Structure 1
Amino acid sequence: MLFDTAPKERREDLYDRERELAELHEALRLGERLVVVYGVRRVGKTSLVKVGLRVSGAPYVMIDVRELYYAENFVRMQALVSRVVEEFRGQVRWYRRVGFDLRGALRRIRRIRVGDYEVEVEPGARIPLTTLLSEVDEWCGKRGMRFVFVFDEAQYLRFSNTRYDGVVAWAVDNLSNVTFVLTGSEVGLLRDFLRVDDPEAPLFGRYRRE
């Protein structure tokens, strides 16, 4: 399957990325809270992250932010929360394999319903992303587990009236059992979004692995 252009999930299908894979695996093993993966399109960022997550055995969700942006030219928080919940549903089997109890983690969020294989947000519900992150973090903290939120093409998060850079900064400061992995093919735009060297930006001075 080496010539298949679809993102890879198996280590044996990932070609010539051993160093980057080892770095990502180390970051997850050490519990680092923010990892940034840069690279132009089609160099294998998504495959690298997917394989790294599978190798690490971590529960995760992976959101392609372009999907939300292209739908509305904007990234609404509720659209993002709904997409995260949809991705939860798609990962139920993996969660069971790695010991992550999704129902237990989300049980206190009243307007999210979790069944054996179904997860959904009730119509009209407005659930802050910070609430979702906090509940997952708390559940993981009681069980010595780490959850990974991956935002692929994260530079598109800047198109919103929500300060997602602020949300990430808050999570990095306060949630010790959550890791954010942000990827971006438009390197300059992703750096403009993160602004880690700008004293006025929420993420200024935060440690991150790049």
Structure 2
Amino acid sequence: MYFGIVPKTRKEDLFDFEEEYNELLKAIKGEHRLIVIKGLRRTGKTSLMNVVYNQISNPRLFVDAREIPVGKKVTYTHFGRLFYGFLSDVSIKEKISSWVTGLDAYIQINFQKKAALSELAKRINEAMRSRNEFFCLFIDEAQMLKPSGFDRFLAFLYDRTDRIKIILAGSEVGLMDKFIGLEAQEPLYGRVKKIIEIEKFQTEKSLEFLRSGFKEKGMKYDEEELKEAVSKLDGIVGWLAAYGFYRTEMGHEAALKKTMTEGAKMVSSEIEKFLSTRSGGRKRYLSILKLLSKTPAKWSEIKNLVAAKTGKTIPDSRLAAVLDQLLEYGFIEKKKEMYYIADPLTAEAVATKR
């Protein structure tokens, strides 16, 4: 079903993702070792990963980085447990029983250390080589592992194994670019990457998504109501799917209101989490988000507004840093010389913030 409030897991539930689906599947089956899915929040990245993860027959693991507390030791411990559990799997154990023997005690003591994790990765690589297969490691919201330095370990996997494929997805676009090594000083810099971009739906595609979803449900729909929903929710498929889900249970106005109210709460929580570590510049960040929620703006317009709101002229270097942070975390977008809000529900989320 197209409509729903959770990420998809079946191919038939993906709407018009055939190109991205085939691109990801081809990359996994081909020679690519590092595959990156990029896009804004709620544009379908996790659904695409879920579907392909369920479709392929490769030995594989799926990790949602949001479930791992921040910290180098806890991150390596988490992956150590996963890798060890994978090595201990019955379907593989027959092939590597001689390696697993005696490994248990070693891992119990040492798997939290990077050296032990690299050893486990080498064991997995050997197992895959013996089976003439590739192990696929899927990591969603991968940029959240940056503070733990896990990109260094992924660089090790890329350089020192030949039977492990890494599939990453992330919604904080600028942070994701750093994590995957688009800048020279980053650990994954210089490694060949297959990058798959997930875009917001254009207006007609958004309308067709809603039409198809209601047809799938056997429901009649009003074209003007669909246009209103698209105008309010833009091309964010996550919000459109939620609206469709609620619309099957209630009227148009109630469904749209519920989608926007619940969605704004989610966006508000994300913004508060972002602002919690930037208390000194809270007013600046909120001023910019509120401005862009009303209209796209150029650099000079943003600078003038921040000065008017805070009573202080903001230095160019500081404004650049603030805008870069908002871009990195996916709250705003930049097209040519104009800055835009990335999610239409940001306006609802920041309206009452101070």
TM normalised by structure 2 equals 0.48
Query: In structure 2, what is the Cα distance between the partners aligned to 1:42 and 1:63?
Result: 18
Query: In structure 1, what is the Cα distance between the partners aligned to 2:134 and 2:45?
Result: 21
Q: Say yes or no: does 1:177 pair with 2:163.
A: yes
Decide whether aligned partners of structure 1 residues 112 and 33 sit closer, same or farther in structure 2, where only a CA change above 3 A counts.
farther
Decide whether aligned partners of structure 1 residues 13 and 193 sit closer, same or farther in structure 2, where only a CA change above 3 A counts.
same
| Greater relative CO (CA pairs within 8 A, separation 6+) | 1
* Residue 111 of structure 1, aligned match among 81, 100, 104: 104
Query: In structure 1, what is the Cα distance between the partners aligned to 2:105 and 2:16?
Result: 41
> Which letter does structure 1 place at the counterpart of 2:193?
R
* Deviation of the 1:122 alpha carbon: 4.0
TM normalised by structure 1 equals 0.77
* Deviation of the 1:191 alpha carbon: 1.0
Residue 71 of structure 2 is matched in structure 1 by 74
Residue 206 of structure 1 is matched in structure 2 by 191
Query: In structure 1, what is the Cα distance between the partners aligned to 2:109 and 2:81?
Result: 10
Decide whether aligned partners of structure 1 residues 132 and 57 sit closer, same or farther in structure 2, where only a CA change above 3 A counts.
same
* Deviation of the 1:177 alpha carbon: 0.8
Asked whether the equivalents of residues 63 and 83 of structure 1 are also in contact (C-alpha less than 8 Å), the reply is no
More helix by share: 2
Give % identity: 30
Per-residue CA deviations over 1:102-155 (Å, capped at 9, x if unaligned) read 564572571279xxxxxxx74775462212211111111111111101111111
Alignment RMSD, CA only? 2.7
* Residue 122 of structure 2, aligned match among 134, 143, 165: 134
Per-residue CA deviations over 1:163-204 (Å, capped at 9, x if unaligned) read 322211121122111100111010101112232331x33222
Decide whether aligned partners of structure 1 residues 191 and 133 sit closer, same or farther in structure 2, where only a CA change above 3 A counts.
same
Decide whether aligned partners of structure 1 residues 108 and 126 sit closer, same or farther in structure 2, where only a CA change above 3 A counts.
farther
Query: In structure 1, what is the Cα distance between the partners aligned to 2:52 and 2:135?
Result: 13
Decide whether aligned partners of structure 1 residues 109 and 23 sit closer, same or farther in structure 2, where only a CA change above 3 A counts.
farther
Residue 144 of structure 2 is matched in structure 1 by 156
Asked whether the equivalents of residues 38 and 184 of structure 1 are also in contact (C-alpha less than 8 Å), the reply is yes
> Which letter does structure 1 place at the counterpart of 2:78?
A
The count of residues paired between Structure 1 and Structure 2 equals 188
> Which letter does structure 2 place at the counterpart of 1:2?
Y
Asked whether the equivalents of residues 7 and 44 of structure 1 are also in contact (C-alpha less than 8 Å), the reply is yes
Asked whether the equivalents of residues 84 and 120 of structure 2 are also in contact (C-alpha less than 8 Å), the reply is no
Query: In structure 2, what is the Cα distance between the partners aligned to 1:64 and 1:23?
Result: 22
* Deviation of the 1:78 alpha carbon: 1.0
Query: In structure 2, what is the Cα distance between the partners aligned to 1:183 and 1:172?
Result: 17
* Deviation of the 1:14 alpha carbon: 1.6
Gaps of 5+ in 2: 196-354
